[in-house]
Amino acid sequence: MRVAWIVDDDDEMSQAVSLMLKLLDYNCEIFRDARSTGRQMLQGRKPDVFVLDINMPIVSGIDLLQFIRTRQGFQQIPVVMLSSETTDAQVDEAMRVGADAFVFKPVTLEELEEALAAAIRKRS
């Protein structure tokens, strides 16, 4: 089964996204911040896909995305960005840095499924 890492400081949203991903046949791991995600990456662990919130304390989702795209072995992992409070400039920045798809909160199962499919196609 595929593994998705959800990185979001909003507990309710990360649980909802996890449930949706489980319906799409993913095992999910939830991280509350970019630092804990980065630590797991540095230990050599990898997901099949990342779902990143943009607005997180201390280290943003865009900063984590930049880290992902510079780490050997992680560059081709699909990344879906997820956010509720986002400007067009943030969306543009996320896509420029290497996001493969973007969805807005609250996200539906269909929107998430479409974003995942687009992200996977882009990295295949």
Whether the per-residue pLDDT at 40 is higher than 90: the answer is yes
pTM score: 0.96
Contact 36, 59 (CB under 8 A): no
Q: Where are the domains of the chain?
A: 2-123
Query: What are residue 5's DSSP bridge partners?
Result: 29, 50
Distances from the Cα of 4 to the Cα of 17, 86, 123, angstroms: 10, 23, 15
**Alpha-carbon distance 32 to 81, whole Å?**
15
Tell me the pLDDT band of 87, cut-offs 50, 70 and 90: confident
Weakest-pLDDT range from 23-27, 31-35, 90-94? 90-94
**Chain-centroid distance, C-alpha 68:** 10
CATH superfamily membership of 2-123: Response regulator (3.40.50.2300)
Is the distance from CB of 20 to CB of 112 less than 8 angstroms?
yes
Residue 65 — very low, low, confident or very high, per pLDDT cuts 50/70/90? very high
Confidence of residue 4 (pLDDT cuts 50, 70, 90): very high
Question: Does residue 84 surpass a pLDDT of 90?
Answer: no
pLDDT-derived band at 10 (thresholds 50, 70, 90) equals: very high
Residue 102 has a pLDDT of 95
Average pLDDT over the chain reads: 95
CA separation, residue 31 to residues 9, 66, 71 (Å): 8, 17, 18
Three-class DSSP category at 67? helix
